[in-house]
Amino acid sequence: MSEQELIEQLKNKESQRAAFKSLVALYERKLYWHIRKIVLNHDDTNDILQNVFIKVWKNIDSFREESSIYTWIFKIATNESLTFLAQQKRRNIFSDGTGNEYLASNLKADEYFEGTEIQRKLQEAILKLPDKQRLVFNMKYFDDIKYTDMSEILGTSVGALKASYHHAVKKIEEHLNGE
Amino acid sequence: MEKNKEYIKLTDLTNEQPFKTPEGYFEMLEQQIFARIDEDENGKKAVGLLFYLKPILTIAACLVAAFLLVYFPIKISDQKTAENTTNTENIDILYFANSFIHESEVLEYLENTNQAEPIDDSTIESVLLASLTDIELIELN
């Protein structure tokens, strides 16, 4: 099924439910890992992911097709995740500059983390980055999302994204090497 | 500065996800999403029905309130009237209808006598006759 056909079926009340099931199956894993890399915790990720799909269901009729449905859904997921993080930071009294103590403690306590020690160190280094830069880094390093797609999702120019990624890599390597 | 071999570069690391999901998570996800959608839509239907029932329920509530506000005061008033007429139940109402004396004169007479005893007709006649003037008595005869 092409994206255009999927959109048509999503907007048709009779085929909407079946089309939505296809949409969920198509994007659930990509969206899950995108959100998970932002908020780290599985339970938080699950809540946000379900909220994203509910939002998509409620607003499918107003989807203007100015971007691809993939970009549209990822935008929603990114905004929901960043909003969630902002709420967590407002609840945090102490800050290490990034306000990511909540995430750092999530990482330490996460029963669903099965990486090596160096992978844990990498995650700790990533957490030191500002949220948007962390987002850029994750989308490029782990998901290999094209800069043009990233630009649409994040609303930032390709040039700025490339610069941001380059600086993120430098900071992370310094952290990994104890600098 | 020359970087030694121990210097870790990002490209040296795997970009695999170090996280995992609970067993069967994605298999359950679709069900959970649709359960929330259905719950939300059922909630909307209930609200929709309430929208039409609300004016009817409001009117019904007002009518009940109005009924109660009118009914109970009347009921209480009737009870009080019934209590007030208890002491005069031995007196034939017809005597009042046709009597030449005021009701209050009869009540005064009753207060001065033993009200526990039933009042017979001759007693009532005595009361009524006692209140008439000489001229009225002559006219009666």
Q: What is the pLDDT of residue B113?
A: 59
Distance CA A1, CA A11 (A): 15
Residues B31 and B72 in one domain: yes
**Domain regions of chain A by residue span:** 1-94, 115-179
Is residue B9, in this structure, part of any structural domain at all? no
Q: Per-residue pLDDT for B91 more than 80?
A: no
Same domain, B83 and B129: no
Tally of domains in chain B = 2
Residue B35: closest CA among A93, A72, A53 = A53
Cβ atoms of residues A30 and A24 within 8 Å: no
Q: Which helix (H) or strand (E) holds A134?
A: helix A131-141
Rounded to the nearest integer, the mean pLDDT of chain A is: 89
* Rounded CA separation B113/B107 (Å): 10
B112 or A103, higher pLDDT? A103
pLDDT-wise least confident of A34-43, A100-109, A120-129, B24-33: A100-109
Residue B39 CA to residue B58 CA, distance in Å, equals 27
From B72, B88, B104, give the residue that closes a domain. Answer: B88
**Residues A126 and A134 sit within 8 Å (Cβ to Cβ):** yes
pLDDT at B97: 46
pLDDT tier for residue B82 given thresholds of 50, 70 and 90: low
Confidence (pLDDT) at B57 = 80
Q: Hey, what are A68's tokens?
A: 């691809």
Does position B126 have pLDDT exceeding 80, yes or no? no
CATH for A115-179, options being 3.40.50.1820, 3.40.50.300, 1.10.10.10, 3.40.50.620: 1.10.10.10
- CB-based contact B7 A54, cutoff 8 Å: no
Of B46, B65, B88, at which residue does a domain stop?
Answer: B88
Over residues B120-141, mean pLDDT:
60
**C-beta neighbour count of A106 within 10 angstroms:** 19
Domain encompassing residue B94: 90-141
Widest distance between CA atoms in chain A: 60
The region of weakest confidence among A41-55, A139-153, B4-18 is: B4-18
Q: Is B37 on the interface with A (CB under 8 A)?
A: yes
pLDDT for residue B80 is more than 80: no
Average pLDDT over residues A24-28: 95
Residues of A contacting chain B (CB within 8 angstroms)? 21, 24-25, 28-29, 32-33, 36, 40, 42, 46, 49-50, 53-54, 57, 110, 112-116, 118-120, 122-123, 141-142, 169, 172-173, 176-177
Q: What is the pLDDT of residues A41-74, one digit of tens each?
A: 899 999 999 999 999 999 998 888 788 899 999 9
With a cut of 50, say whether residue A39 has pLDDT above it: yes
Based on the fold, state whether residues B77 and B28 are members of the same structural domain: yes
Q: Which residues of A141-170 are buried (b: 16+ CB within 10 A; e: fewer)?
A: bbbebebebbbbbbebeeeebeebbeebbe
The complex's ipTM works out to 0.81
Whether B90 has a pLDDT exceeding 90, the answer reads no
Tell me which of B48, B63, B88 is where a domain ends. B88
Task: Using the predicted structure, report yes or no on whether residue A97 has a pLDDT greater than 60.
Answer: no
Architecture of domain A1-94: Orthogonal Bundle (1.10)
pLDDT band at A75 (very low <50, low <70, confident <90, very high): very high
- For B3, phi then psi, to 5°, come to -80, 130
Residue type, B134: D
Structure tokens, B138:
């002559």
